[in-house]
Structure 1
Amino acid sequence: MDKRTAILHANCQGQPLAAQLLASPEFAQSFAPRVYLNYAREPLPEAELAACGLFLYQHLGPEWGELSSAALLAQLPADCPRLCIPNMFFRGPWPLWSGAPGFDYRDVLLDTLLDMGLPRRDILHVCLSTPLTWKYDLDALLKETVERERERQAHTPVQYLDFVLEHWRERPLFYTVNHPGPELLGLAAAGILRELGLAPQSPELLPGPEALGAGYADFELPVHPQAAAFYGLAYGAETQIFNVYGRAKTFAQYAAAYVDCRQLGLDDFIGYLQLA
């Protein structure tokens, strides 16, 4: 039986989602997944779109031009099934994370202190010892990320946010703000298969950690112990060890590496962490 091409137009979540979908015997018998990275603006050949047997996509607005969801959907065969899939993002455990360009995994507090020109010792003392609630409304920051995620979820029939809100305090569900772990990836894949009317994943066929792709699970973004205490997390204590590109670090050690990297004038924080 010839398999139809299933295009996944997605971010770093696309490859592990494809592996989860292949754990459904019915999906695996019918489709051969091909992942195109949307954030890398990877082009989708017209011939592949014209022959597409299933199009799974994370919503992209008109600002993406020819790679916007509307532009790509218009090029599909009329009989090609298409489904908007989750693009999971959650800042809950990391309220001070920032997506500002120029440095990886930006931290609003550390950046503020660094930009003030304070010495290393003072920066780390303020970061670790001064109550975060003196400067930041942590409840408002949580509300902000939840509202943002509800807007993103509105594009897809596959629901996941209620599960996140029910369980994120009990256990880590994300490695970083946009790297959901296997539990959430499995939930999303099950929802996709259900929407497509296909059999769910078989437990014995579920992918192992290697299916997450290179680099996906190599970094656990450390949680500030004060944020963990404020939100009542069952993880994120001062002594907790996080996997930081193969190196075991507490939040305090990670914060020190952040400060050192920036004070050295380096902008490749990932590369620095891999060596530090």
Structure 2
Amino acid sequence: MTLSLMYTNCQRGLIFEFLKLSNEFMKEFKVELDKVPHNHTAIKEGIKISDNILKDAKLFIYQPLDDKYGELSTNSILSRLPSECICISLPRLYFKGYWPQHGANPYSKITGDIQSLFSYGDTNLNQMIEEGVPKEEIIQRINKLDFYNHEDLIDNLEYTLNEISKREEYTDVKISEFIRQNYKNYRLFHTINHPTDMVGREVANQILQILNMPKLSENVLPFHKEVLGGLQVPIYPSVREKLGLNFITPNEVYSLKGLGRKLTFSEYAELYIDQDQKYRKSELLFKSQPNEILDNLSDKKENQQAGVIYIITGTNLRYVHECIFSAASLKKYCPKLPIAVLSDKFLDFPKDYFDYIIPIQTELQPLQVKVEFMYKSPFDKTLFLDTDTQVLQPIDEMFNWLDEYDLCVANGPMWAKDKPQELLAYEGEGNYNTGVLLYRKSDKVELFFNTWLEKMLASSTLDKDYYNNPGVNDQFFFNQLIFQRFCEQHGIKRKIFTNTVYNVRSNMIQNLKNDGKIKDVKILHMHDLHKKKLKFDC
């Protein structure tokens, strides 16, 4: 077998599912999808495709990219392929004919667990929400069979087909005529850029024809039917009626990835409106009250108590899910302990677990933000937890330490430099870990946090790799202050608590089991605890 590479967008998964159903193709070619990234990923992350990979290719399937993308452009890559390599181009598969309402959704990046539902916006819903039209009236309007007129829908259809025709002027695979002939009787797209299996088979068959191989029959289906069908954007009733779409019914239901159930057109619209309203309120809160809620809470005497805080920046849902999981585990064992989460983007945290959901505003990098806001906790006695933690037993006793001490922290473990999972000792002396940090408010502790942040901001090595760069990692500067005897100089009483109980890292687990200490663990601190398959129960 000879090497075949596919340099396209996410549609390559669909096309390959059909190509691998061809015995002739699979005997001739070995397709290695992981050798080359999706083209949009390569562009976004600046991933260069190595000559060592390209030099062995005998078949190169691609979607053209303009010269403005430099080394990632079509011309650049084709020039580096061996002369005997067969190159087959196909257009980006796109069809707006079913969805004249398609547009941007300004809140698609911060919608939590159902983020992917509304990555495709609806201009009609956006406009009516903006105009203040009641939800019930919006639903009535968009369900009317005359919402769109026939002429506008035909104009939209012809426009999108003409766009596809332009894209395929210089490609080997042509798809516009196939769409024109079949769009009424068969669902050809799930979203504007997610084709159905029927389109995937057609593209695969054209590739097979170019290679002089037999076409696939219509009854040949991939193992996973509708490869890209996990998310479907509903089609307006007036579009169904005016375009004469025969493949859907008035009671059609649509798959929405991440929701776990299918929705009718009206149910989809209702959920879209509800989410839009929720995040408009969130955005207004950020615009009108950045950091104000936090300042007010910090000033109120009734809120001066013991509590736990989490700090999250950005819209990466991994940290959101970690945080919710950690807070849920904490509430299980310490139900009366108040929890606050400080976030600059995401506010949709479950109130069952969080007593305070506090919007913050900052221009700093994530680990700097952590230090910037830790002392601004609304509590007198604060336990800061990283999001990747899990509480396994009651931990209320930790706050009693603050009757005597100002700052409490644990050492991190000591491991082999070239083998991070090989534990050398439970405690690496002088290697304090700030993922579990306990402190009480006072002028001297505030000075400690301010100095900690100042050292980070003064660092000359601020770059993209701040998580792994000791020049900007928050723990580096924390340890630096400790080594410089800052606490002793300013009368800060410091306690070192045991990490085998209150800050257990992943490379300590097996040793704790072997030593019979695993039942003593109270706080786990490691990535992916929120994923069920990695949940750890002592």
TM-score with structure 1 setting the length: 0.85
Q: Secondary structure at the match of 2:4?
A: strand
Q: Secondary structure at the match of 2:57?
A: coil
Equivalent in the alignment of 1:85: 90
Aligned: 1:33 with 2:31: yes
RMSD: 2.7
Structure 1: give runs of 5+ residues left out of the alignment: 272-276
Equivalent in the alignment of 1:274: none
Q: Secondary structure at the match of 1:40?
A: helix
Contact map agreement 1:24 1:202 (CA 8 A) in 2: no
- Quick one: which amino acid aligns to residue 17 of structure 1? I
d(CA) in 2 for partners of 1:133 and 1:202? 37
d(CA) in 2 for partners of 1:7 and 1:241? 37
Contact map agreement 1:86 1:188 (CA 8 A) in 2: no
Pairing partner for 2:273 from 259, 263, 266: 259
Contact map agreement 1:86 1:158 (CA 8 A) in 2: yes
- Structure 1 residue 94: deviation in Å? 1.2
Contact map agreement 1:194 1:200 (CA 8 A) in 2: yes
d(CA) in 1 for partners of 2:231 and 2:5? 27
d(CA) in 2 for partners of 1:205 and 1:134? 38
TM-score with structure 2 setting the length: 0.45
Matches within 5 A, 1:1-276: 3-35=1-33, 36-41=37-42, 43-98=48-103, 103=108, 104-129=119-144, 131-133=146-148, 137-201=152-216, 206-209=221-224, 212=227, 216-245=228-257, 246-265=260-279
- Quick one: which amino acid aligns to residue 33 of structure 1? V
d(CA) in 1 for partners of 2:158 and 2:220? 37
For residues 154-178 of structure 1, the C-alpha deviation after alignment (integer angstroms, 9 at most, x for no partner) is: 2322222212111111121211111
Contact map agreement 1:19 1:207 (CA 8 A) in 2: yes
d(CA) in 1 for partners of 2:148 and 2:218? 44
For residues 22-55 of structure 1, the C-alpha deviation after alignment (integer angstroms, 9 at most, x for no partner) is: 2222211121112331122254222101221211
Q: Secondary structure at the match of 1:260?
A: helix
- Quick one: which amino acid aligns to residue 194 of structure 1? Q
- Structure 1 residue 11: deviation in Å? 1.2
d(CA) in 1 for partners of 2:276 and 2:262? 21
Equivalent in the alignment of 2:438: none
Change (3 A) 1:112 1:156: same
- Quick one: which amino acid aligns to residue 190 of structure 1? N
For residues 77-126 of structure 1, the C-alpha deviation after alignment (integer angstroms, 9 at most, x for no partner) is: 12211110242111111121125765311111111112224333333333
Select between 126-135 and 37-46 the one with higher mean Cα deviation: 126-135
d(CA) in 1 for partners of 2:102 and 2:264? 17
Change (3 A) 1:134 1:199: closer
Select between 202-211 and 241-250 the one with higher mean Cα deviation: 202-211
Change (3 A) 1:125 1:63: farther
- Structure 1 residue 16: deviation in Å? 2.0
Contact map agreement 1:25 1:199 (CA 8 A) in 2: no
Q: Secondary structure at the match of 1:92?
A: coil
d(CA) in 2 for partners of 1:100 and 1:241? 22
Equivalent in the alignment of 2:114: none
d(CA) in 1 for partners of 2:256 and 2:21? 29
Contact map agreement 2:97 2:153 (CA 8 A) in 1: no
d(CA) in 2 for partners of 1:108 and 1:241? 21
- Structure 1 residue 136: deviation in Å? 8.6
Change (3 A) 1:31 1:135: closer
Q: Secondary structure at the match of 1:6?
A: strand
d(CA) in 1 for partners of 2:159 and 2:90? 22
Change (3 A) 1:140 1:258: same
- Structure 1 residue 63: deviation in Å? 3.1
Q: Secondary structure at the match of 2:5?
A: strand
Contact map agreement 2:190 2:229 (CA 8 A) in 1: yes
Higher Rg: 2
Structure 2: give runs of 5+ residues left out of the alignment: 109-118, 284-314, 316-320, 322-538
Change (3 A) 1:235 1:190: closer
More contact order relative to length (CA 8 Å, sep ≥ 6): 1
- Quick one: which amino acid aligns to residue 23 of structure 2? P
Change (3 A) 1:117 1:43: farther
d(CA) in 2 for partners of 1:67 and 1:94? 31
